[in-house]
Amino acid sequence: MTLLNDRGELLGYVGGVLAVFGACMLAVDKGALTLVLTAFQILPDQEFSNIYPALQALLDKAGWLWMTWLFLLLPIGFIIQVTGLIRENVIPRWQGLIIILGLLLLINPDIEIISATGAVLMCIGLIPIGVREITDTLRRL
């Protein structure tokens, strides 16, 4: 992350590693708990009711499915990176706190209005950074 040089460089690196690993675990979570369940759509109601115990095991994240909770490293890593941006005065504290609040709202039990609010807050905090970086890059050309 080229925005972080001094005090925030380690935070950027550690946060980035955690966020990338968390993103991979999010893909595992979606594959294990979303894509697999779509296969059951073709079952008749009687057969579907016979697999309720198996579905409950999936929902309880039994066995190795506990690993899907590691997707939480994605927002945690990103929060660490935002902390680095705040420490190096790349972004003002209010902007970083809006991004962090948005990330925290994304950690919810699939309540769409909360996720949408979190996404809007993240956009409010992140879009100015993106615009600034793009315009700075264009000026250097």
Q: What is the pLDDT of residues 86-135, one digit of tens each?
A: 999 889 999 999 999 999 998 886 788 998 999 999 999 999 998 998 99
How far is 118 from 32, CA to CA, in rounded Å?
A: 24
91 in Cβ contact with 124 (< 8 Å): no
Q: Which two tokens stand for residue 23?
A: 């993103």
62 falls in which pLDDT band (50, 70, 90)? confident
Handedness of CA 141, 85, 107, 101 (dihedral sign): negative
Q: Domain segments of the chain: what residues?
A: 1-90, 92-141
pLDDT value for 66: 85
pLDDT value for 109: 67
Coil vs helix vs strand at 91 = coil
Tell me which range, 25-39, 41-55, 115-129, is most confidently predicted by mean pLDDT.
Answer: 115-129
Q: E strand or H helix at 118, and its extent?
A: helix 112-140
How far is 32 from 21, CA to CA, in rounded Å?
A: 16
